[in-house]
């Protein structure tokens, strides 16, 4: 496989670990990265070690006063956010010697995208149509390549499907929900379903301990809060960092989720595995402990061709971290999508329709 030059939009926990994991994989070169404060672009290849060292503990996250600015990752919104960490006068990616300040970081990467094979969007989707709108911007710029996201919410899939004709016309191969869940676990469910001719239920139960810490995963935690009873995406977006920390303390550092609006359901239905209503997703996020609070499992119950009812269960080892289970698959799906794109296979795909590369 030829070298894949890729960009990462967002350098929070997921974006940072994508850059790090990619250094352990063959055939991948990170050439661009951005956050709300700035952008780093080097088509010869970024110095990933320097970039990660410079931005450690320097993550921007928090409610924005201007959603229109925030949608493009604007530096103004970041400066107004309570969650911005600073090293000296620099914030976020501008702390790196490779970074430069800009008010239009996503636009800056789009302007360079003719030399980029794949773009991983590691952005908390704090507006339902944020990621679909970013994808549309790449298409409007006639980008020909791969887009990958790790989005979580079911309704966003339909928004991407509404834009599929535009993406195909541009020459974009888009793999959506390509992290752990949806993503890796969605694909595992699709494989586990092959024993059956009819699926009764798919149950995904996950456990995450934040080894890399809350400071490095603020956006992810904020988005997860939107799935708690009594909360939604709008209330989670408007919460201050102090309010989030109080909520975490009130729950003893553990947030438990049931019947989440997770894209696994529509992605499995899209792949013809089962009806979306037959899929349930829940789990426990422990923000204070490294150890997983519960074992991550996928259970698929169905009926075989000879009338037997059974349950196939896929289980992740507790030693594999959230970062390993999100970023490894995301890179694998990116590799597979690049091969599809180079073969002229464009459109929107889910993780149950594509086998990730290694």
- State the Cα–Cα distance between residues 285 and 256, nearest whole angstrom: 6
Of 171, 40, 175, 163, the closest CA to residue 120 belongs to: 175
Within 8 A by CB and 6+ apart from 85, the residues are 57, 58, 59, 60, 91, 215
Note the pLDDT of residue 90: 61
Are 331 and 28 in contact by the 8 Å Cβ rule? The answer is yes
Are 119 and 337 in contact by the 8 Å Cβ rule? The answer is no
- Residue ranges of domains in the chain, CATH in brackets: 4-181+323-349 (3.40.50.720), 184-319 (no CATH)
Q: Which tens digit of pLDDT belongs to each residue from 138-160?
A: 999 999 999 999 877 888 899 99
Note the pLDDT of residue 227: 85
- The single-letter DSSP state of residue 352 is T
Is 152 part of the annotated catalytic residue set? yes
DSSP for 81-150, written as a single string: -TT--EETTEEGGGGSTT-EE-S-HHHHHHHTGGG-SEEEE-----STTHHHHHHHHHHHTT--EEEEE-
Residue 100 has pLDDT above 50, yes or no: yes
Residue 199 has pLDDT above 90, yes or no: yes
Q: What is the mean pLDDT of the chain?
A: 87
- State the Cα–Cα distance between residues 121 and 37, nearest whole angstrom: 16
Task: Please work out, in degrees rounded to the nearest 5, the angle formed at the alpha carbon of residue 127 by the alpha carbons of 122 and 133.
Answer: 70
Residue 180 has pLDDT above 70, yes or no: yes
- State the Cα–Cα distance between residues 318 and 329, nearest whole angstrom: 17
Q: Which tens digit of pLDDT belongs to each residue from 244-302?
A: 889 989 998 899 999 988 899 999 999 999 999 999 999 999 988 888 999 999 999 99
Note the pLDDT of residue 11: 87
Single out the catalytic residue among 223, 262, 292, 323.
223
Q: Which tens digit of pLDDT belongs to each residue from 38-87?
A: 999 999 999 999 999 988 766 544 434 333 334 354 433 333 333 334 44
- Percent of the chain exceeding pLDDT 90 equals 66
Taking each helix axis from N to C end, the angle separating 130-140 and 154-162, rounded to the nearest 10 degrees, works out to 20
Residue 217 has pLDDT above 80, yes or no: no
Are 331 and 234 in contact by the 8 Å Cβ rule? The answer is no
Single out the catalytic residue among 64, 136, 152, 292.
152
- State the Cα–Cα distance between residues 208 and 214, nearest whole angstrom: 12
Are 60 and 37 in contact by the 8 Å Cβ rule? The answer is yes
Single out the catalytic residue among 64, 136, 227, 269.
227
């Amino acid at each position: 496989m030829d070298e894949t030059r890729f960009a990462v939009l967002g350098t929070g926990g997921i974006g940072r670990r994508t850059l790090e994991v990619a250094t352990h994989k063959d055939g991948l070169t990170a050439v661009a990265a951005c956050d709300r404060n700035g952008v780093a672009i080097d088509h010869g290849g970024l110095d990933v070690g320097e970039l990660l060292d410079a931005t450690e503990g320097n993550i921007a996250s928090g409610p924005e006063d201007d959603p229109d600015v925030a949608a493009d990752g604007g530096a103004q919104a970041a400066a107004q956010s309570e969650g911005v960490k600073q090293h000296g006068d620099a914030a976020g990616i501008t702390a790196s010697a490779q970074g430069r300040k800009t008010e239009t970081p996503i636009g800056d990467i789009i302007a360079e995208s003719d030399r980029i094979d794949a773009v991983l969007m590691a952005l908390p989707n704090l507006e339902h149509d944020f990621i679909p709108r970013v994808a549309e911007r790449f298409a409007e710029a006639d980008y020909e390549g791969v887009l990958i996201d790790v989005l979580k919410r079911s309704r966003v899939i339909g928004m991407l499907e509404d834009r599929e004709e535009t993406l195909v016309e541009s020459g974009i191969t888009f793999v959506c929900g390509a992290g752990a869940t949806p993503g890796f676990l969605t694909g595992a469910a699709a494989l586990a379903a092959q024993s059956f001719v009819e699926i009764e239920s798919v149950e995904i139960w996950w456990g995450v301990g934040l080894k890399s810490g809350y400071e490095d995963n603020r956006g992810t935690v904020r988005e997860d809060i939107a799935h708690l009873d009594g909360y939604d995406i709008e209330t989670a977006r408007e919460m201050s960092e102090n309010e989030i920390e109080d909520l975490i303390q009130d729950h003893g550092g553990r947030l438990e989720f049931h019947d989440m609006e997770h894209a696994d359901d529509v992605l499995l239905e899209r792949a013809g595995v089962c009806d979306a209503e037959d899929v349930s997703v829940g789990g426990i996020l422990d923000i204070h402990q490294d150890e997983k609070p519960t074992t991550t499992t996928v259970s698929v119950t169905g009926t075989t061709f000879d009338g037997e009812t059974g349950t196939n269960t896929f289980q992740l080892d507790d030693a594999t971290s959230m970062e390993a289970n999100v970023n490894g698959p995301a890179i694998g799906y990116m590799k597979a999508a690049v091969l599809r794109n180079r073969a002229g296979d464009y459109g929107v795909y889910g993780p149950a329709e594509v086998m990730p590369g290694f």
